[in-house]
Structure 1
């Protein structure tokens, strides 16, 4: 999986199984012992990366806190994951737009984020986007997360300030 993450992050979805296998220190044929097709590998990798991200961003969320504090926790954990795992973030970005990743894999990968969706629902219950679909809200939030991450990368000396400004903007957008 680590070899696939690196190859896809660096070369995109066109990274060959031969490159992935070589990086993993196995033969191309051996790779297909574990994955029937490249599409199977991509689906497993997508699920694996989403679960890793969930472990970092959702685990130990303060569920007894106010919704704003719950959301703040998830926000900062997402920023932390993205800055600490740039290859995983790059590979996941590629996989997220892949036609090879099935609806079934996407559904499996969404399950650990049910609590985040619940947090967002509580945060927007009385806000201007209360009637928006959960998919739209998730897209909006992820766009703001991505913008914040790009800002942190561009100006690392102002990372803390940008993270706080980004969260305040997110809060105002959904509440």
Structure 2
């Protein structure tokens, strides 16, 4: 999985399985012992990376806290994961637009993001996004997060300020506060 992450991050979804196998230190044929197809590898990698991102974002979540405090924690952890894992982030960005990612893989990710989705629902309950489809709110939030991460990569000295400003914007969009 690490080899696939590196190959996809550097070469995109068109990275040949031979490159992935070589990076992993196995023969190309051996790769297909573990994955029936390249699409199966991409799906497994997608689920693994998204699950890791969700799990990392929830580590240390203050239980029983106010939704804003909890959302800020998740946001901050998400930013930290992305900054600490640039190859994973680049590979995941490629996988997010892949037609090979199946409905089953998306469903597995939705399950991993269940606690985050519940928190987002509580956060937007009385806000301007309360009637918008959850998928739209998640896509909008993700777009702001990606923009923030890209900017922080270019301007690391301002990382803390930019992360906080972006969160405040997301919170106003979601909760209206």
| TM-score normalized with structure 2 length | 0.96
How far apart are 1:62 and its partner, in Å?
A: 1.5
How far apart are 1:59 and its partner, in Å?
A: 2.8
For residue 142 of structure 1, what is the aligned residue in structure 2?
A: 142
In structure 1, distance between residues paired with 2:117 and 2:55: 15
Deviations 1:77-121 (A, max 9, x none): 000000000000000111111111101011011211111111111
In structure 2, distance between residues paired with 1:53 and 1:144: 16
| Conservation of the 8 A alpha-carbon contact between 1:8 and 1:91 | yes
For residue 170 of structure 1, what is the aligned residue in structure 2?
A: 170
Equivalent position SS for 1:93: helix
For residue 97 of structure 2, what is the aligned residue in structure 1?
A: 97
Instruction: State how 1:67-146 maps to structure 2 within 5 Å.
Output: 67-146=67-146
In structure 1, distance between residues paired with 2:2 and 2:107: 23
- Compare 19-28 and 147-156 and name the one that shifted more: 147-156
Runs of 4 or more above 6 Å deviation: none
In structure 1, distance between residues paired with 2:20 and 2:140: 33
Alpha carbon RMSD of aligned pairs, Å? 0.8
Instruction: State how 1:21-60 maps to structure 2 within 5 Å.
Output: 21-60=21-60
For residue 5 of structure 1, what is the aligned residue in structure 2?
A: 5
In structure 2, distance between residues paired with 1:46 and 1:128: 31
| Conservation of the 8 A alpha-carbon contact between 1:58 and 1:113 | no
| Conservation of the 8 A alpha-carbon contact between 1:67 and 1:122 | yes
In structure 2, distance between residues paired with 1:169 and 1:129: 13
| TM-score normalized with structure 1 length | 0.97
In structure 1, distance between residues paired with 2:4 and 2:70: 33
Q: Which runs of 5+ in 2 are unaligned?
A: none
